[in-house]
Amino acid sequence: MFASLKSTVRLLRPGLGLKRWLASLLIGLIILGLGIGLFLGELYAENRQLRLANTPIGHIWPFWLIAGILCLVGIGIVSFSIYQLNMIVLGTFLPERATVAYVAKQVYHRQRRRRQGPKVVAIGGGTGLSVLLRGLKHHTDNITAIVTVADDGGSSGVLRRALGVLPPGDFRNCISALADDEALITQLFQYRFRSGQGLEGHSFGNLFITAMAEVTGSFEKALYESGRVLAIRGNILPSTLEDVTLFAELDEGVRTRKVKGESAIPESKLPIERVYLQPDEPRAFPPTIQAILDADIIVVGPGSLYTSVIPNLLVIEILEAIRTSPVPKIYICNVATQPGETDNYTVDDHVKAIEAHTSIIENTSANNSDYSTESNVAHRRTSHANLFKYVLANCNLTHSIPAFMNLQSVFPIPPADNRYTIIKVDLVDEQHPWRHDSAKLADELMAWYATVK
C-alpha cells in the first residue's frame, strides 16, 4: 500500500507536466458538474417563473442555456486534459517523434489490413503448423487451420483412448499460436502437470479442450467456443471427425512391415514406403471442405511429413477439394529432416512422397489391406501429377544443427523435370536452426502470394 502511494506521489514531481493537466481535468469536471446541476435544477424546479424573477441573470438568459454552455465548456476542458495526459504517459513508450494520433492511425490501418487480408487455408499439424500460424496472424485475420486427427501419443493419446475425443494436442498448439495474448495463453496451455493422480503428464490445454467438448457436446463446438473465449484470429478445424488410425508400411529389406499408430511410426527407424488411414475412406468435416473452396491461398506444411501433413491429404474429399480449387497452392518444406521419417531427405524427396500419396485415384472402393499389391497399385494410381506448382524451401544452411539432435538440414535441390517451381529463401530460425522463423516464413509466403494472385 505504501509502495503504491509512494509511486503515485512520484508522478507529481515538477517537470513531468502532469500536475497542470490534472488540475485542468479537475476544473473541467467541476464546470461540467455545475452545468449538469443547473440543468437538473431547471428541469425539476417547482416555481420556475418565481426563481427567474428573483435572479438577475435569469432576465437575460434562460437557465437551460447557461447549463448547456457550462456542460460544453466542461466537456471540452476534460477532453483536452485527458488527451494531454495520454500524450505525456504514452509518450514514454512511443518511438521518437511518434504521437498518439500516429500510433492510433497505425493500429487502425494494421487491423483493417488484417481484416481485409487474403483467406488462407493452412493444412498440417504438429509444431510446424503452429509456427506458420504464429507469423500469419500478423498479416490476415482470415486464417483457417486444418489439423490432422491421427495423433495417438502422449497426453492426446491417453485422452483419446480414455474419453473417445479427438486428439487435442495439435489443436492446442494452433489455439496458442492464433491467440492475441500469445505469450500468456501459450504458457498456460503448454503447462504440464508434474504430479497428481490422473493428471501427471497432461497439459492444461488438452484438458481445457477436452472439458469444453464435454460441456458443448462435441469436439467441433469445443474448438469454436475455445477460439471465441480466447479471442483467436482465425478458425481451427479438424480434417475429419472420425476416429482414424494411421498405419505405415516400412521397408525391412526383404519384406514389408506394418506399423500401427502415429507415435509408433518414427520410433521404428525404418524407411517408410507409404502411410494410410483406417478406416480407409473417412468423411471430411464439411466446414473444412467449404473453407478450402472459399480460400484465396492454400498452404500445406510445414510439419512432420508422414504423420502430420500427408494424413490430411489421405482424406479423399480434402484432396479433391484442393485439386478443384483454382487458387495458388504451395507446399512449405521442413527446414530439417526428422529422425525415423525423413532421414537424408531433400526437398524433392518430400515432394515425391506427397505425390506418391496424392496420385489421382480411380477406384476408391478397394480395401487398403490389398493396396500394396502390384495389380491394385496399377489399378488405383493413374497419375503422379503434382498437387502443387510451388514449393517454399529454406536456403540458409549456414547455421549448424547440434549433433545430439540427429537432424540434418533439408537441401533445396530443384527437380530435374520441372514438375514444380522451388522458391529458395532464408526461412531458418537462427536460435533454433532446425525450425522455421515464424516472421520470415509468413513474410515470404505473403510476398510470394502477392506475385501470383
Burial label for 6, CB within 10 Å (0-12, 13-18, 19+), is: exposed
Q: Is residue 311 pLDDT above 60, yes or no? A: yes
- What average pLDDT is seen over the chain? 81
pTM above 0.85, yes or no: no
pLDDT tens digits for range 131-172: 999 999 999 989 999 999 988 878 887 888 888 888 888 898
Distance from the first to the final alpha carbon of the chain: 59
pLDDT tens digits for range 241-293: 999 999 999 988 788 899 998 888 988 888 999 999 999 889 999 999 999 99
What was the pLDDT predicted at 48? Answer: 53
pLDDT tens digits for range 329-378: 999 999 999 998 999 999 999 999 999 998 854 444 444 444 343 333 33
Q: Is residue 103 pLDDT above 60, yes or no? A: no
What was the pLDDT predicted at 72? Answer: 87
What was the pLDDT predicted at 77? Answer: 87
**2-12: average pLDDT:** 50
